[in-house]
Amino acid sequence: MDNSTHFSTIILAGYIDIGNFKYLCFIVLILLFVAIIVSNQLIIGIICKEKSLHEPMYVFLCSLSVNELYGSIALFPSLLSNMLLSKIPEVSLTLCHIQIFALYTYASVEFCNLAVMSYDRYVAICYPLEYHRIISPAMTVTLIALGWSVSVIKFSINFSVSVRLKLCGNVMDKVWCDNYMLVKLACSDTTANNISGIIGTILIIVSPLALILFSYAKILSVCLKSTREMTQKALSTCTSHLISLLNFSVGCLFEVIQSRFDKVPMPPVLRVILSLYFPICTPLINPIMYGMRLSKIKKQLRSLGVPNGAC
């Protein structure tokens, strides 16, 4: 017989008592949330409205921005409301499950989008004359739909195993609900979770990573055989994507380190910052960076009256 108890709530013990500074943090987070919403909506609106941007590269970017909004909406409302509570925040198990599902599918879709964008750059640089035949409108829609559907279906299967777990505790040392931490609270057998987690890792991390490495290996091979001018032009089209990929990968690495290796000595404030890096910095940096790097989007932003310093 196990020691499981029926818990209807999860206590998020990752919040730190910072006194009245919480109001300053609350204002900063609201400003960040507004900046993420506005900047990503600008990117989506410009791409949808301007016919000259109805090209695969910009459609993939639009999908990326939609996902940024999805992830931010899954995080910020609960983060802001929990921050204002005087005691340790306690959320319902149902809302915790919803947030886990949203944030994990957001991360999965983000990685799939970045993989598709790397393949798009590979075709554009290595097969420029055949680009529109290979990355046709139908192929563009198929790649986007595949990334979203595989991510949602995969994690739905994985998560269906997690929600059935019997919990021996309800205290999670995080500021947002995390599936890995939820599994750690279980006192029932987690073998099925481990197996589904391994399969999910192969599908959502190994496969996109293989496509990214293949794409950039081919791009590098072409650049080494091309003139200096051609190489610079090719690399300039990949800079935004590489920065986006690096930023997201670093954020995910931070999350893995602070979640999986909880015995690593780390100040509580730093642990919170690392936990929030990938769901906040990626949606904030991506639209600003693409607005600065892509000339067509930059031109449209200027036409809307956005100052040069902002784009």
> What whole-number distance in Å separates Cα of residue 287 and Cα of residue 281?
11
SS3 annotation, 234-258:
HHHHHHHHHHHHHHHHHHHHHHHHH
Please spell the DSSP secondary structure of 27-48, one letter per residue.
HHHHHHHHHHHHHHHHHHHHHH
19: left (phi over 0), alpha (psi -120 to 50) or beta: left
DSSP-derived 3-state class of residue 170: coil
* CA nearest neighbour of 298 among 97, 41, 308, 28: 308
Rounded Cα distance between 90 and 184, Å, is: 18
Task: Give the pTM.
Answer: 0.89
CA torsion sign for 149, 106, 12, 20 is negative
CB of 143 closer than 8 Å to CB of 246? no
Identity of residue 285: I
47 and 294 Cβ atoms separated by less than 8 Å: no
- How far is residue 154's CA from residue 140's CA, in Å, rounded to a whole number? 21
Residue 186: what are its φ and ψ, rounded to 5°? -75, 145
3-state secondary structure of 71: helix
Bridge-partner residues for 167, per DSSP?
186
Q: Specify the CATH architecture of the domain 9-303.
A: Up-down Bundle (1.20)
Q: Which two tokens stand for residue 99?
A: 């947030």
Per-residue model confidence as pLDDT tens for the chain (311 residues): 455 567 788 999 888 877 778 888 889 999 999 999 999 999 999 999 888 888 999 999 999 999 999 999 999 999 998 887 657 788 889 999 999 999 999 999 999 999 999 999 999 988 989 999 999 999 999 999 999 999 999 888 888 877 877 888 889 888 899 888 888 888 877 777 777 777 777 777 788 888 999 999 988 888 888 777 777 777 777 888 888 888 898 888 888 777 766 666 777 788 888 888 888 998 999 988 887 767 677 777 677 655 554 44
Strands 90-92 and 171-172: what pairing? unpaired
Pick from 223, 295, 255, 248: which is nearest to 115 by CA?
A: 248
The distance of Cα 105 from the centroid of its chain, to the nearest Å, equals 8
Rounded to whole angstroms, the Cα distance separating 103 from 74 reads 6
